[in-house]
Amino acid sequence: MRTPHLDAQYERELQEIRVGLARTGARAEGMVRNSVRAILERDPALARLVVADDKELDQLEVDLDQECVQLLARRAPVGQDLRLVMTALKSVVDMERMGDLAEHIAQRSIELTTTLGIEAQPECVAIASAVQVNVERVMLALAHEDGTTARAVIGADNAIDDLHNQHLRRLIQLAKDHPGQLERTLAWASVSRHLERISDHACNVAEMVVFLAEGQMMRHGGPRASRS
């Protein structure tokens, strides 16, 4: 268990980074969850909320970046404290990208509700469920500095990739069978790709959780190469 610093102000500054990281992760997770609900339930009002939330997520990223840079400048942290700051600086970028991708899904949801036709295929529903689970798990792993759960998130990504590829094959066949539905099949392909990329960013966060918890860097030649 981590021992708090005797310098109470320094400890508060570190805690502010932890809180900012948790708040940013919660916002990204919520956007992913709501974007999936919006597109599967044909809920344009919820989709518009996701789009609006992106500005708040962007601001959370900026605020956390500033806190990290200021702490680096004032405190020159080492050891576990430095790993925390590095984890925050890297993970917040992936969280912001998750939010951007959730916004893209929400925008597709609004477009798809304006017409009728091909709806979510079984593979898309399965991808959406698996991605939500992976995002939830990585945020829990980050909160508890749990390397084991973080590794499980990374391990689950291959199955999501397989589902995405299966989904694309089905959509290609649907486009051939129903040429009048080409725009909708392309929209669903875009949704699938956005979901698959969200999982990739969750894996990037998971790699940083392993670094934070165990001191092992998994990026750039480690046990698993990072996906940018």
Query: pLDDT tens-digit profile of 173-186?
Result: 999 999 999 999 99
Percentage of residues in the chain having pLDDT higher than 90: 89
Q: What is the pLDDT of residue 4?
A: 65
Instruction: Extract long-range pairs of 177-184: CB within 8 Å, 24+ residues apart.
Output: 178/117, 178/118, 181/117, 181/118, 184/112, 184/115, 184/117, 184/118
Can you give the pLDDT at residue 153?
97
What is the pTM assigned to this prediction? 0.92
Contact 201, 94 (CB under 8 A): yes
**Over residues 195-219, mean pLDDT:** 94
Nearest to 91 by CA among 148, 150, 49, 34: 150
Query: How much is the mean pLDDT over the chain?
Result: 93
Q: Which are the contacts of 125, defined by CB distance < 8 A and separation ≥ 6?
A: 40
Q: Each residue of 8-18: pLDDT tens digit?
A: 899 999 999 99
pLDDT tier for residue 228 given thresholds of 50, 70 and 90:
very low
Residues 31-51: what's their mean pLDDT?
97
Rounded Cα–Cα distance for residues 120 and 191 (Å)? 10
- Domains of the chain in sequence order: 8-214 (1.20.58.220)
